[in-house]
């Protein structure tokens, strides 16, 4: 019996790979191995409407569990992979058994970065990555509101940290947001746009503590009671969420001798334009895929829903013989309170950029452009719907755009 196309992973990238194989007419065996105890699901709602209790669990699963049975895709839940043998086209599972594959797609995602300070293992110190994490966090917030002051300290003011802070405020929590920069999201969108988010969160009652380093999590017994900062003060907490970034899960690939990218260069599994790795018949998608960009002349890895939505189908078609290079621009979005943000492009830290603003940042209706020599490298919209495609076209054109044109973008 022919070996299956095997997909390792339980996120949206795994789901979109399997779905595209069937949509493209592949009628061979497809096997999905999920370490978590359920079918593949998407993660953005975990920090947004699902965490707020505005969406039920079924909203996470696209396609539904029934789709896999209806389309003859085997899913083994609670099945962790311990090793890959590319030469033998075989994987070893955590229970010691082995399974062959014809083609292999790695969709292993990423894991929350650990906070390496004393007290990080106290009860009530949580991270958010899985559906189980979201369930625990929601239940813990309810318990904190019932039994205490409902004080939540979020360590990290990146996208996960700010989204959790927004959702926690919607649930009535007393939120303090700790960040190492001058404003939230400074590393992602710079000081000017970060300042808009700072005002947004303050307007919704979040206390911001910029330029703060955590030195210790303090507790009473085995339970968290506060976060000690480098300045010596302690921020009281009934609950702490650590959101200081994620680490791509490249261990399986690296141990199998598959080429990876150093962390200092973005990390991930090195792939070519077809999303194929250095190993024969092995592809990588989603969070772990470090994709070569002809625009920026380097590999780029983006941890986001859009990457999973786009790379999974591209790899599935490549598995079936397509040879077109992956050409989608990096993209991500974030919804916080009454704002909706979209971002496209890439801000290479090796290049000096100018930031051109259009619209009214104070009213949270604006666009921002990152340019070098007049060429647009990235752009962002806040509460300016349905125009990110225009920004993507400016980036793809790779031609200088007059500053006055960019400044008039929102009014156009």
Q: What digits encode the pLDDT tens for the residues 69-114? A: 999 999 999 999 999 999 999 999 999 999 999 999 999 999 999 9
CB atoms within 10 A of CB 64: 11
Whole-number pLDDT of residue 99? 98
Superfamily for the 338-407 domain = FAD/NAD-linked reductase, C-terminal dimerisation domain (3.30.390.30)
User: What predicted TM-score, i.e. pTM, was given to this entire model?
Assistant: 0.95
Residue spans of the chain under pLDDT 70: 1, 412
- Which of 238, 191, 240 lies closest to 214, judged by CA? 240
The domains of the chain are located at 5-111+247-319, 125-244, 338-407
CATH architecture of the domain covering 5-111+247-319: 3-Layer(bba) Sandwich (3.50)
pLDDT of residue 348: 87
The hierarchical CATH code for the domain 125-244 is 3.50.50.60
Residue 176 C-alpha from the chain's centroid:
22
**Per-residue pLDDT at 412:** 56
pLDDT tens for each residue of 160-199: 999 999 999 999 999 999 999 999 999 999 999 999 999 9
User: According to the model, what pLDDT value does residue 148 have?
Assistant: 79
Domains 5-111+247-319 and 338-407 belong to one CATH topology: no
């Amino acid at each position: 019996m022919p070996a299956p196309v095997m997909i390792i992973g339980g996120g949206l990238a795994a789901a979109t790979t399997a779905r595209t194989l069937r949509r493209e007419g592949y009628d061979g065996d497809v096997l999905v191995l999920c370490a978590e105890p359920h079918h593949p699901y998407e993660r953005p709602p975990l920090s947004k409407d699902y965490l707020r209790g505005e969406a039920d669990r079924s909203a996470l699963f696209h396609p539904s569990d029934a789709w896999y049975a209806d389309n003859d895709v085997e899913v083994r839940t609670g099945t962790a992979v311990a090793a890959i043998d590319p030469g033998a086209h075989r994987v070893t599972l955590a229970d010691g058994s082995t399974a062959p594959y014809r083609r292999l797609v790695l969709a292993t995602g990423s894991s929350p970065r650990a906070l390496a300070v004393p007290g990080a293992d106290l009860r009530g110190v949580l991270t958010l990555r899985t559906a189980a994490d979201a369930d625990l966090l929601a239940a813990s917030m309810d318990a904190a509101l019932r039994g205490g002051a409902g004080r939540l300290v979020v360590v990290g003011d990146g996208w996960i940290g700010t989204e959790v802070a927004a959702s926690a405020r919607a649930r009535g929590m007393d939120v303090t947001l700790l960040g190492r920069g001058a404003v939230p999201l400074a590393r992602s969108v710079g000081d000017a746009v970060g300042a808009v988010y700072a005002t947004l969160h303050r307007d919704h009652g979040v206390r911001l503590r910029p330029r703060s380093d955590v030195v210790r999590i303090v507790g009473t017994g085995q339970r968290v009671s506060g976060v000690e900062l480098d300045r010596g003060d302690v921020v009281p907490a009934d609950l702490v969420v650590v959101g200081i970034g994620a680490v791509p899960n490249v261990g399986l690939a690296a141990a199998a001798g598959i080429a990876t990218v150093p962390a200092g260069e973005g990390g991930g599994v090195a792939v070519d334009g077809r999303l194929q790795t250095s190993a024969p018949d092995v592809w990588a998608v989603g969070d772990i895929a470090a994709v070569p960009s002809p625009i920026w002349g380097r590999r780029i890895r983006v941890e986001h829903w859009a990457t999973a939505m786009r790379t999974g189908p591209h790899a599935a078609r490549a598995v079936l013989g397509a040879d077109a290079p992956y050409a989608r621009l990096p993209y991500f979005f974030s919804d916080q309170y009454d704002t909706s943000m979209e971002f496209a492009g890439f801000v290479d830290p090796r290049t000096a950029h100018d930031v051109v603003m259009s619209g009214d940042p104070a009213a949270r209706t604006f666009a921002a452009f990152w340019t070098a020599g007049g060429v647009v490298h990235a752009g962002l919209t806040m509460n300016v719907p349905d125009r990110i495609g225009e920004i993507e076209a400016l980036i793809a054109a790779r031609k200088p755009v007059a500053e006055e044109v960019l400044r008039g973008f929102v009014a156009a």
